Amino acid sequence: MVDENRRNVLKIFIGSSVALSLGALTTPLVGSVINTKALALKGEYSSVEVVLCEDVDNCPEEYSVPISELRQGPKFVLLKKSNTAIPAVFGLVRATDGKEYPVAYNTVCTHFGCPVNPTGGKYLMGFACPCHGSFFTICNNPEGCDGRPFLEAYVSGGPAPRPLRPIKVAVKGDRIYAVKAYI
């Protein structure tokens, strides 16, 4: 009698955890087949917006890099806001229109979270993940590359499911400031 009860409790526990996990695994599969729009709620689930400074004019120096330094090559800055640390790489992208555009990206790989290495020499061209071999290429065509917007670090190889999280930058004087980041 008692044994039967225990078995039932175990069954309920295990059954519900199996159901939950199966549901969690199959939801995106089914969702991607039926209607992806239905799944998306307001805001980006997997990214959290961090506002580093409201305005460029009162943005602290620690969130900035001089343009002259970026001309030597991409630069790493660890952006810190309260408890959050955001590893950022600032760089200049040479677009196909011949101009230089300042950019910054959160260098946490969107696959499993490893720190990615910037590629290219003086100009930033993309990122490579040393852990599982994802490649990100920065779109340098102002018209967009195959539907990808200008300056997006899209996945050009490897297992990463989505582009690198960008950081919004603004130019003030001879420095480039990180204004808003996604983590």
**Which of positions 81-100 make contact with other proteins (CB under 8 A)?**
82-87, 92, 95, 98-100
Sole binder of other proteins in the list 44, 54, 55, 62 (CB under 8 A): 44
By CB under 8 A, tell whether 56 contacts other proteins.
Answer: no
- Please tell me the distance from the alpha carbon of residue 176 to that of residue 115, in angstroms, as a whole number: 22
What 3-state class would DSSP assign to 32? helix
Q: Which two tokens stand for residue 149?
A: 């917007």
Q: Which two tokens stand for residue 96?
A: 């196909």
By CB under 8 A, tell whether 9 contacts other proteins.
Answer: no
State the nearest-atom distance from the C-beta of 60 to other proteins, in Å.
18
By CB under 8 A, tell whether 37 contacts other proteins.
Answer: yes
By CB under 8 A, tell whether 68 contacts other proteins.
Answer: no
- Please tell me the distance from the alpha carbon of residue 118 to that of residue 107, in angstroms, as a whole number: 9
- How far does CA 39 lie from the centroid of its chain? 20
State the nearest-atom distance from the C-beta of 58 to other proteins, in Å.
19
Sole binder of other proteins in the list 52, 65, 108, 125 (CB under 8 A): 108
State the nearest-atom distance from the C-beta of 167 to other proteins, in Å.
8
Contacts with other proteins by CB under 8 A: the residue count is: 81
Across 39-174, the runs of DSSP E, i.e. the strands, are 49-51, 64-66, 75-81, 84-94, 100-106, 117-119, 126-128, 135-138, 153-157, 166-172
Sole binder of other proteins in the list 59, 65, 124, 151 (CB under 8 A): 151
By CB under 8 A, tell whether 40 contacts other proteins.
Answer: yes
Nearer to other proteins, 103 or 125 (CB): 103
Sole binder of other proteins in the list 53, 69, 73, 115 (CB under 8 A): 115
Q: What residues are paired with 153 via a beta bridge?
A: 138
The edge-to-edge listing of strands for the beta sheet with 153-157 is 117-119, 126-128, 135-138, 153-157
